[in-house]
Amino acid sequence: MSFTALYLTKTDGAFAARLRDDLTDEELVAHTGDASVVVRLDHSTINYKDGLALTNRSPVVRQWPMVPGIDGAGTVELSTDPRWQVGDQVIHNGWGVGETHWGCLSQKARLKGDWLIARPAGLSTAQAMAIGTAGYTAMLCVMALEDAGVRPDSGEILVTGASGGVGSVAVALLSGLGYRVVASTGKLDEAEYLRSLGAVEILDRAGLSTAGKPLQKERWAGVVDSVGSHTLANALAQTRYGGAVAACGLAQGMDLSTSVAPFILRGVRLLGVDSVMCPTARRQQAWARLAKDLDLAKLASMTRTVGLAEAPQVAVDILAGKVRGRVVVDVNA
């Protein structure tokens, strides 16, 4: 029986992204190696990395042809892995899927059992994908700050790229946990949106996005940064003594021009946060926390839903900074 998916090709340097409604189980098996669990997907999403893959703006995809989509949520349809039974409700995030292994912007995916976790009770597949890798990464950042001893009474928390997917969920999570959250964004017309998620102050990202002094006036007890480059360098320079910065993204760039001053003079900690290869136990902890700590009404307010055919345009928009919050893809729409 055929199924529908987004399908990326690159032939003689010419890139194409199109919707195919005639993909077969035989093709799926041929491109998914020793994966042992077939998932009938209900929803996926578009993250920044998916935007890069769908536009070929960066060499994210390393095998061709490719079905993109690093996130998926659905029901186990077939399994030879004893950990997963037909009918189990599962979530997938990361693990190189959509890069070297056919992914989840599709009605069906064939995945390794190690890559799956059970969908937490209380979250629908649509809500799980409204969270997606972006929201799960935000939770990993919050957990990293907590592990570093940053508490609600420690002081202000800066969230950069606040109107994006990671930033929006981070603002909602941190404010819900009692932190005083300051949101940095290039979209000052989204100030009321960010306040509705729990931000108490909005900063123009222009104040952070150009080169600054290696040490600046201390302000932040903690930072969640999805931007990188000068923004991350300035955030480090403004972090208070003993504070911590959780870094998870590169929307401004991969470079980091800073000095050792924040680390050796103020004891600032730079915490790298990876969601792609994060160990299963940590993933499960993060998703359990999301199901408990994230206000689902706030999640709904930051989310819109599109069909598979609309995903390529969303990819263009997300790279252009035109997407607010999260986008769920209904793979059956």
Structural domain boundaries in the chain: 3-119+302-330, 132-272
Calculate what percentage of the chain has a pLDDT beyond 70.
100
**What pTM, to 2 d.p., does this model score?**
0.95
| Pairing of the two strands 157-159 and 181-185 | parallel
pLDDT digits (tens, 9 = 90+) for 175-229: 999 999 999 999 999 999 999 999 999 999 999 999 999 999 999 999 999 999 9
pLDDT digits (tens, 9 = 90+) for 11-56: 988 999 999 999 999 999 999 999 999 999 999 999 999 999 999 9
Q: Looking at residue 63, what is its pLDDT?
A: 93
Architecture of domain 132-272: 3-Layer(aba) Sandwich (3.40)
Mean of pLDDT over the chain: 96
Residue 321 pLDDT exceeds 90: no
Query: What is the topology classification, in CATH, of domain 3-119+302-330?
Result: Quinone Oxidoreductase; Chain A, domain 1 (3.90.180)
156-181 exposure pattern, b = at least 16 Cβ within 10 A, e = fewer: bbbbbbbbbbbbbbbbbbbbbbebbb
Residue 328 pLDDT exceeds 90: yes
Residue 292 pLDDT exceeds 90: yes
